[in-house]
Amino acid sequence: MIPEDKRVRNEIFLKGLFRKYYQENKVSPPLSIEKREFGFMFFGSQNMVRHLSFTNAESLQQFMFSRVPSNAFYSAAYYSKPDAAKMDEKGWEGCDLIFDIDADHLRTPCKETHDKWVCQNCGESGLGGRPEKCPRCGGQNIEERTWLCETCLETAKNELIKLIEDFLMADFGISADELRVVFSGHRGYHVHITSRVLLDLDQNARREIIDYIKGVGIEPYYHGLMEVREGRSKILKGPRVSEEGWRGRLARGVIKTILSMSEESIPQDRKVRAALQKLLKDRSRVVASLGEGIWDPVRGVSLDAWKYVVKTAIEEVGGKVDEPVTSDVRRLIRLPTSLHGKTGFKVSLVKLGEISNFDPFRHALAFKGEVTVHVNEAPRFRIGEEEFGPFKDEDVELPLSAAVLLLCKSVAYLK
């Protein structure tokens, strides 16, 4: 815990840095700024002030400099009266299609090493995700302290590339001109799609898009996986890797699943387990055969066993996007080029051709200089080309962007 007087001093320091940033850097206004609702959070408060609007980029810039929000958001939706206090009085005119990929929702082993929870009743703590109840006192007042690392953000970036290349452009025909990619400033990425044909989609239509991307409800039979009789025998047939859409994606996913499957990961069901052991025993030949569109290179593997592999493959190759963000047609999303109050990183626009090389720990930094802070506790992390920590109850002089990250994470205070 940061003592109250030191917490206030941190906030004053951060607010000064954020003000200087907004004095020297122009924020990127959204398209049709006069039709967008804006919302802001401020230092020292957990509440959001929303139902604000701006008629032009200059008035938004002046607000950012004079009020210095810790976090800035705008509506994905367009309204005739964006500053109306009640949502049903705003006059909804349409909504961009937004996707959110957040490391919080991805399975990454690093969380068990850098995320932490602390029971606010008894002080018990542990690594990893927040439990429902404290294992010592049973209390539910548990604080979660998440961190971000290169594994988190690299995993999120891979999901971002998969979403754009495999689904949005290949399956939905979204053009590069309609896409904007944004690093959230914390643990993930956003994709903004502005297209006249998508503006009017309601929540149900947007949920359908999410279901398609996640592969919800896919029935392998309707994608070509079936037993067919040839003479007195039954043979298994399935989709080819070269096919478009989910058929080819399933075939490629099955190959990927078989290549990564281990003896320990297969289910305990006796029949399915025995069948999968046969596949793994002859893994190379099975994979080569599937690549040629032949689905039954090994005798004795039941259709149920193959359905298990397909189900696992869907989880592997399906998109990992946050459903509520896409389906909510009144959602506020982070304002690109603003600063994120949990890191001090820039909410950065990323060009499509530069996604692979984008490095949040280098390209999203906003501050230069050095400052000395006392760090209560922090895992090892990188800023720019240099690594720091781990720290435990010590004074350290750090580059300003590294110190700001620790101050924003409330794990350090100014000396």
Q: Give tens-digit pLDDT for 288-318.
A: 999 999 998 888 788 888 999 999 999 999 9
pLDDT at 214: 97
pLDDT at 183: 98
pLDDT at 304: 87
Q: How far apart (Å, rounded) are the C-alpha atoms in residues 254 and 398?
A: 47
Element (H, E) at 350: strand 348-350
Q: How many C-beta atoms surround the C-beta of residue 178 within 10 A?
A: 18
Q: How far apart (Å, rounded) are the C-alpha atoms in residues 174 and 7?
A: 46
Task: List CB contacts of 24: < 8 A, sequence separation 6 or more.
Answer: none
Q: Is 76 exposed, middle or buried (0-12, 13-18, 19+ CB in 10 A)?
A: buried
pLDDT at 233: 83
The candidate with the shortest Cα–Cα distance to 210, out of 168, 182, 170, is: 168
pLDDT at 203: 97
Q: How far apart (Å, rounded) are the C-alpha atoms in residues 82 and 192?
A: 19
The residue ranges of DSSP E strands in 213-267, in sequence order, are 226-230, 233-237
pLDDT at 272: 84
pLDDT at 186: 96
All residue ranges of the chain with pLDDT < 50 are none
pLDDT at 301: 85
Q: For the chain, what percentages of helix, strand and coil (3-state, to nearest 5) are there?
A: 40, 25, 40
The conformation of residue 140, written as its DSSP 8-state character, comes to -
pLDDT at 234: 85
Does residue 286 sit in helix, strand or coil?
helix
For 16, phi then psi, to 5°, come to: -65, -40
Does residue 134 sit in helix, strand or coil?
coil
The candidate with the shortest Cα–Cα distance to 409, out of 194, 189, 185, is: 185
pLDDT at 300: 78
pLDDT at 90: 98
